[in-house]
Amino acid sequence: MAVRRIIKRDGRVVKFEKEKIANAIWKAAQAVGGKDYELAKRLADEVVAIVNEKFKKTIPSVEDVQDIVEKVLIERGHAKTAKAYILYRQEHKKIREVKSILGVKDDLKLPINTIKVLKSRYLLKDEKGNVIETTSQLFRRVARHIALVDILYDPLVFDINKEQEVKDMPDENDIPQEMLDIGLNKYNLKMLYRAYKRLNLKRYMKVSFNELLEIIRMKYKSKIKKTEERFYRLMTNFLFMPNSPTLMNAGAPLGQLSACFVLPIDDSIPSIFDALKYTAIIHQTGGGTGFSFSKLRPNGDIVRSTRGVASGPVSFMRVFDVATDVIKQGGKRRGANMGILRIDHPDILDFITSKDTENMLFSNFNISVAITDKFMEALEKDEEFELINPRTKQAVKRLYARQLWEMIIYQAWKTGDPGVIFIDEINRHNPTPHIGMIESTNPCVTGDMLVSTEYGLLRMDELADGHHTALVVDRRVIGDSDVDISPMLKAWRTGVKETYKLVTKSGYELVATPDHKIMTPNGWVPLLQLKPGKDKVLIQSAPGIWNTNKKIPFDNSFQKEWSKELGHVLGWLIGDGWLRDSDKNRRVGFSFGKNDRDILCYLKPILNRMYGREIKEIIRENGTYHLSYHGKSFVEFFRKLGVKPVKAGEKEVPVAIFTATRDAVVGFLQALFAADGTVAVDEKKDNIYVRLTSKSLRLLKQVQLLLLNCGIKSRVYNRSRKRAGKFRYVDKHGKEKVYESNGILYELQINKESLQRFLNEIGFLCNKYKDKIKKINGHRFYKDVFEDEVAEIIPNGKEVVYDLTEPLTHSFICNGIIVSNCGEQPLLPYESCNLGSINLSKFVENKGDKAYIDWNKLEETVKQAVHFLDNVIDANAYPIPQIEFMTLANRKIGLGVMGWAEMLIKLGIKYDSEEAVKLAERVMKFVQEKAREKSVEMAKARGNFPNFKGSVWEKKGYKYMRNATQTTIAPTGTISIIANTTSGIEPLFAVVFVRRNILGGEEELVEINPLFEKISKERGFYSEELMRKISETGSLRGIEGIPKDVREIFVTAHDIDPEWHVRMQAAFQKYTDNAVSKTINLRHNATINDVDKAYRLAYKLKCKGITIYRDRSKSVQVIHIGQKEKHAEISNNHKERESKLKESEEKCPVCRSKLYYAEGCYTCLACGFSKCG
């Protein structure tokens, strides 16, 4: 009987597979030059026959079978193969022992170096530091978490047209902790809650959150599981790998999935230390940070508020550097910062030398100089260049561009810093140029103005008190349509200033400072420059957001949550009710007319339930009904909601309604309009409208704002009579009396399309006026235009005023009118990088002796990776709201590549060759095109990125684009180790080398290139002695016994001239949306002139930046090679330090200190300037 099962080393019993035996024999044969796979299969057949004979009644173990394989190989005369197989068993035994010591259960059979990295940073651990997941469970955790996002875009759930009502949300603490039946943990569910809430606020969601959870159960296997499996295979086959934070945090407590973040820094102490606070938060969650310090005033500049002097950007960078030193990213990664300063900043000299080995100011910053085209032009012409004070915008110094350039080149040669970025080249490729800088102003609005937010309408002074919220913004400001949500970065009181009241023809009002800019059909205009009777202002053009939290904002025993019924009670109370709150008379009363019997029957049980007692209506002799509820606590309940004991002319909307749920607001309006409104139908004049009348102008203007936030435009009229009128009426006792009116009356009217929306979405309580409404059915309404003519601008005196800032449109909606935000915002602040890389080495296939690229497989992988990265944006738990909103507004992803050098080796192409450069362009063009195709496809199903309108994509004629950018070639240090391939687009750094500081301590990873080992064994020149010899230098150059063609394709970074490094970077940059990360690795003996040529060539070839690193120019570096060469160099360095520099009569052109001459170069010891020759 044939053996069907086998016992694994961990005790599991699994299926017995003959193919695994054949493959093991085949690998051993290949290691010694074997080429006959059929022979391996025949030998496997013999092994299986012996196993079947020997284990008729028992189950064999893996060790039993491997012993039989050795025996068969030796007996059949395959001694070399047997030796290779034995060595393979011994090697893997050691690997298993090491993994056991590491405490990692590796069910994917990964290399030791990969296991070390995974254990250090990625595998989940318990409180004692013990690993609690296997390698496969790590990738399953990530795949499941990211795949879950798909359910949010399922047709049952997602409405691409954004026509849904915002659903009420459960409290986050009330959602299920887990759904173990389908394998979801609490972090998966928290992610779904966050992502659902974002889409819900934008009106995409067709179902409630609880309904979503049921749909997940229903569709998990048919939809989500399929995506999960694709993502899992993508990672475990090492075709694609997301950035480190995604691997660390997906499905885990932190949930932060982005690699790096851009934080703005303005020229103020609050802005600087806000950025420092955000940096600490981001580093804690596993991200890195980038800053431009170019806006900070220079060292020695005046500080008016303190009458002191500024210390300059470099001093503040030291604060960031020290803070970073004590924060380890996410508890797993070293803190990392990128600092940038413009070339025209007055402190640029201090910045360039800030990482000099003799003047080391920073240990946690990589630094780059932002080079402009203007500077490069001055450099080419050998002209002077101005340094500009960013505060005054005035030139404060002139230097020859050549002097600055040579200083940058020297420091880069000496220390590896600074790199350069070509800022104008970057801005030329900005996909959203319309989301950019605005001028700095300080306009303000008064504290009682109502701002449209994600919680409804909040007072401006409440926002300044620290209320954290997102704002509703009107996208017409940036040339788009509809409304959106955007972060409020901050709001604050600015002081007491002169104010003016703007009143529109329809009655909308705004009180602001005279310089506050208002959006008009022709753009921004300061308030005092608007012309009454001529200019128009834009008002909110679509429904805003209402609070989704149902909880009443204070403790009480009557009603715990908002509801439409509570809205009905409040609406009728304001319309036809009263509240008394004196010592002798505390009661809440409701009146109902003869025709309101249905409404009485509806409201009475609601009120009695709230009150806790059965109260019967009182019928007056005039035919009206009254409900009256006595009691201090019941009155206090309504007082806390904002109902005031006032006369008819002083009534207001209860303040709590402005931040209530949509149901409660609709209920309030339904009841109020049923109490004091009517439907007017004059078919002859084609005049149809709904009106609401009141003696309180304030009440109607507040209702006007509630309606506008529901997408309904209205107009308020003054219907007051100049002379008081006398009216006869029957009192409650049935007696006729005379009422003398003061003549004050106001009326709110709704018509055109807004009337249709009112009737469809709000209407009247208990279908009041249904007969009149029937006559309107089928009527064609004129379209509303959401702009309004300026009626008057009135001086309003001095008041306390407030500012806020918003980064997306630089605007907000205040009392229904679109106004400019109140501060300066830099270009594209708060963006994050959502990165992942495709392993190119996995797409080389062999047909006979010919290697080729499998383009179909690469296309499929690119499109799956774009899907993955787009899902990451929704799944992410962003560290601060500003980053969340800006990232979601542009939905940028950065799909890159790694394993490029290995792809070339497998194809037999030399890295430093024209063939390789051309192939680089072809491969990256293909990746970019397929990524773009997928982004278009996803936009058709999920929608464009919010800032699409006005973007370069729209201008190029695209109708759909999900992601503002799709490609970035980022550093792939640890993820390339996990994938067991070469880093990014770098050449081999060495055939044999040692990685240090990878894990943040003394850990070392020894690496031998597996392709070289494989080829050397297949072609018969492998020996341990040869490997030891190569390890002395890391390079094959000058090593005898290695075929020429092998030496050429295994070229290392230090074997390649700088020009080829730059050309390769430029080839990939040509078809990459964002920047290309590549280090121009130079040999230790590279000259300053080599660096100069590389930097100039990078600019010429339109690279977006360049970083060089000369071997051993830093005291600590990650990768070390050539130990023999290094030890010899250390000895030489001591001799160099002992040699004396010759003093020169020439002075430094930068700082005017003395220059010293040594080995053909003049060097300034004060500032680091150097020139040679």
Q: What residues are annotated to the active site? A: 442, 444, 824
**What strand order describes the sheet that includes 577-581?**
577-581, 586-592, 625-630, 618-619
- Write the burial class of residue 537 (CB in 10 Å: 0-12 exposed, 13-18 middle, 19+ buried): buried
* Cα distance between residue 1100 and residue 1065, in whole Å: 12
Contact 853, 907 (CB under 8 A): yes
Question: Both tokens of residue 832?
Answer: 């994050």
Q: Is the sign of the CA dihedral 89, 90, 96, 99 positive or negative?
A: negative
Contact 764, 674 (CB under 8 A): yes
* Cα distance between residue 320 and residue 362, in whole Å: 9
Within 8 A by CB and 6+ apart from 700, the residues are 507, 692, 694, 716, 746, 747, 748
Q: What is the DSSP string of 531-598?
A: -TTT-EEEB--S------B-B-SS--SS-SB--HHHHHHHHHHHHHEEEEESSS-EEEEEEE-GGGHH
Question: Both tokens of residue 779?
Answer: 């009527």
The secondary element (H helix, E strand) that includes residue 1010 is helix 1010-1018
* Cα distance between residue 530 and residue 813, in whole Å: 18
Contact 626, 590 (CB under 8 A): yes
When computed from its CA atoms, the radius of gyration of the chain, rounded to whole angstroms, is 37
Question: Both tokens of residue 1160?
Answer: 């053909």
Closest CA to 484 of 798, 807, 899: 807
Kindly give the pairing relationship between strand 288-292 and strand 260-263: parallel
Place of tokens 């090492």: 238
* Cα distance between residue 335 and residue 321, in whole Å: 9
| Number of neighbours of residue 744 by Cβ within 10 angstroms | 16
Beta strands in 652-724 (DSSP E): 677-682, 687-694, 715-718
Kindly give the pairing relationship between strand 240-242 and strand 288-292: unpaired
| Number of neighbours of residue 171 by Cβ within 10 angstroms | 9
Three-state secondary structure string covering 1071-1137: CCCCCECCEEEECCCCCHHHHHHHHHHHHHCCCCEEEEEECCCCCCCCEECCHHHHHHHHHHHHHHH
Q: Is the sign of the CA dihedral 185, 188, 192, 194 positive or negative?
A: positive
* Cα distance between residue 700 and residue 844, in whole Å: 72
Question: Both tokens of residue 1173?
Answer: 């020759």
The secondary element (H helix, E strand) that includes residue 1060 is helix 1058-1069
* Cα distance between residue 16 and residue 5, in whole Å: 5
Contact 997, 114 (CB under 8 A): no
- Write the burial class of residue 14 (CB in 10 Å: 0-12 exposed, 13-18 middle, 19+ buried): exposed
Contact 1169, 1151 (CB under 8 A): yes
Question: Both tokens of residue 304?
Answer: 């008016």
* Cα distance between residue 474 and residue 574, in whole Å: 31
Reading phi first (left if > 0) and then psi (alpha if -120 to 50, else beta), residue 506 is in alpha
Question: Both tokens of residue 444?
Answer: 């303000």
